Amino acid sequence: MRNSRKIMIAANWKEHFTVSQASIFLNKLESSVRSRQSVEVVLFPNVLTLQPLSVQLDKRKFRLGAQDGHFQDAGAYTGEVSMAMLRDLVHYVLVGHSERRHVFGENDDIAAKKMQAAVRNGIMPILCVGETLQERLAGETNQILHNQVTAGLMHLTAREVAASVIAYEPVWAIGSGESAKPDQAAAAIQHIRTQVEHLHGARTAGLVRILYGGSVNSHNAKAFLDVDGCDGALVGGASLQSHEFASIVEKAFRVHQERLPAHHG
């Protein structure tokens, strides 16, 4: 089943780049990232740059995603951009990123509504889940993951869940330079997949892609991609450097090649 899940390398640019800077950076990426059919590369720029980049983008090489979207399709929500507005521009949207949860106070209920809104508008959601350092030290990692996965998927059908993506991003590893150890990532990813199986069955659990995010760079990417059940990486700071990001994509391609069954001549 694992070989049927396409590896995803996602670049979360966060609150970086003006429109012109993003265009220049995309040019750099297009020259440094090689097109690999077995690796899906998704760029998550800020919302202002989505429209111009959607025109500039080499669609054989990259897909676009939004970093967030509001759960109401329209209405009196000053400053918000709805999933309905994003649907013609992006394939993917991040939901419940730890910065949305911990900087902006979004809870599991909001994440659940955003998951529904994304699916309703034909956008594939990437549900971000993960524990804080305090929660990990208190031995609550599995409970936190259970709660966030259950809430995020509660309004979706098995088919919708199978087409979605889940990103395990321990909050303590984001932007800290302190990544989780591969065995910590492996345990969390296994727990998430088991939770999906409890909710929606073994087939759905075998189809849903699970990524690791949290201080991923070209030096540690392969260790995470080699983790059993890990289907890619959500890359933050390292995605703002074109050669560093291109190196991560190449490592993902090589991991995919290693997974292929040997051909007997």
CB 178 within 8 A of CB 135: no
The CA-CA-CA angle for residues 67, 190, 158, to 5°, reads: 65
In 3-state terms, the chain is what percent helix, strand and coil (to 5)? 50, 15, 35
Q: Tell me the pairing of strands 7-12 and 39-44.
A: parallel
Where helices occur in 88-181 by DSSP H, the ranges are 98-102, 108-120, 133-137, 141-153, 158-162
Q: Which of 106, 131, 169, 250 is catalytic?
A: 169
Give the Å distances, CA to CA, from 94 to 10, 64, 158: 10, 11, 19
144, 216, 248, 204: CA torsion to nearest 10: 0
Catalytic residue among 97, 99, 106, 200: 97
Could you confirm whether 97 is annotated as catalytic? yes
φ/ψ region of 164 (left if φ > 0, alpha if ψ in -120 to 50, else beta) reads: beta
Please indicate whether residue 169 is annotated as part of the active site: yes
Instruction: Catalogue the active-site residues.
Output: 97, 169
